[in-house]
Amino acid sequence: MPELVKQTMDVEQMVTWALRDQGLGWGSAAQAAGWEELGTRVDTSGRWSVPAPSASLMTDDDALVVRQAIDALPPEAGALVIQYGRIGERPDWVEEGPGEYVQERDGRGRPMWDWEDPVNRTGEKRQRMKFEGLRPELVTWHRAQYTLWREALHALVAPINRVLASHQAFGPFAPERPWETYRAAVILYPVDA
């Protein structure tokens, strides 16, 4: 008997395939398990839940394996994988980086100053500064979310490959620390040059 050739996919692509394309992005794997027993999906969404738009699309048992592995992840990691897998996107790692202080300007574009004596505009003058962009702690949070999401994808590969029947996962292809690679590329090839 010829050996089955498995379809290989990046784990990020496989998660999107299972959650979005196969309709397992809503509910849990336990809710989808009715598929095995009854031959159809069981609607356990309740009165106020949003049903999956593709709820009847699951045609591959490997999709259920992927969903079960996602459900076995720690809650925060699993939630990130589901959130971005449903839409086929990656978390924002804030490409532009933290913001910076810049001198405020008036309506005509002239720099604004703070004077020691503001009434007479005398004494020491200092630039009036404002912060533009994201605060460093918010950038750190976004990048931690990206890192957790990528580590969760990496953690899925081995467990699902042991069980998948017609697919094989690899990766993730998503870069480990894209903000470092991006910054190096901008320095080497400046946009303004």
Q: Domain spans of the chain?
A: 7-91+139-188, 100-132
- Average pLDDT value for residue range 149-156: 97
Task: Say yes or no to pLDDT of 183 above 70.
Answer: no
Answer whether residue 117 shows pLDDT above 60.
Answer: yes
- Is 9 within 8 Å of 162 (Cβ atoms)? no
Give pLDDT, residue 29. 59
Residue 86, token pair as written in the block: 């449903």
Tell me the H-state helices in 43-177.
61-71, 75-87, 136-163
Nearest partner of 17 among 74, 88, 65, 84, judged by Cα: 88
Measured between alpha carbons, how far is 28 from 160 in angstroms, rounded to an integer?
16
- Closest to 41 in 3D by CA, of 66, 50, 28: 28
pTM higher than the cut 0.75: no
- Within 8 A by CB and 6+ apart from 62, the residues are 18, 164, 165, 166, 167
Give the three-class secondary structure for 117.
Answer: strand
Q: Each residue of 55-95: pLDDT tens digit?
A: 456 678 899 999 999 999 999 999 999 999 999 999 999 88
In this predicted structure, what is the pLDDT of residue 71? 95
